Amino acid sequence: MTYKFKFSDDHESKYVIDLNRNKDNVEAVSDVPWTQLDFNKCENCPLNSKETKNCPPAIDVERAMHEFQNILSSDIVKTYVETNDRTYYKECDAQTSLKALMGLIMATSLCPILKKLKGLAFYHLPFASFEETIFRAISDYLLKQYFKFKNNKNPDWSLSELSEYYEQIQMVNVAFFERIKVASKADANLNAVVSFSSQSQLISFALDEYLENLAKQFSE
- Closest by CA to 100, choosing from 219, 206, 1, is 1
pLDDT of residue 43: 92
| pLDDT tens digits, one per residue of 26-54 | 555 567 888 899 998 999 999 998 888 88
Band (pLDDT 50/70/90 cuts) for residue 184 is low
List the chain domain ranges.
2-218
User: Minimum mean pLDDT among 9-13, 120-124, 159-163, 205-209: which range?
Assistant: 205-209
CA distances 67 to 12, 84, 119, 208, Å, are 10, 25, 27, 39
Distance CA 63, CA 184 (A): 12
User: Dihedral of the CA atoms 62, 64, 69, 71 (nearest 10)?
Assistant: -170
pLDDT of residue 29: 59
| pLDDT tens digits, one per residue of 135-182 | 898 899 999 999 999 999 999 999 888 888 888 888 898 888 888 777
Exposed (0-12), middle (13-18) or buried (19+): which is 58, by Cβ within 10 Å?
buried
Does the pLDDT at position 83 exceed 70? yes
Q: Which residues are bridge partners to 4 per DSSP? A: 14, 80
What average pLDDT is seen over the chain?
84
Band (pLDDT 50/70/90 cuts) for residue 23 is low
Cβ–Cβ < 8 Å for 79, 97: yes
pLDDT of residue 78: 95
Does the pLDDT at position 193 exceed 80? no
pLDDT of residue 198: 61
Long-range CB contact pairs, 165-171, < 8 A, 24+? 165/116, 165/141, 166/137, 166/200, 166/201, 166/203, 166/204, 166/207, 167/204, 168/44, 168/113, 169/113, 169/114, 169/117, 169/200, 170/197, 170/200, 170/201, 170/204, 171/42, 171/43, 171/44, 171/113
What pTM was computed for the model? Answer: 0.82
pLDDT of residue 26: 52
H-assigned helices in 68-206? 94-107, 118-122, 130-150, 162-180, 188-205
More confident residue, 22 or 19: 19
More confident residue, 115 or 22: 115
| pLDDT tens digits, one per residue of 105-146 | 989 999 999 988 899 999 999 988 888 888 898 899 999 999
Q: Which amino acid, residue 74?
A: S
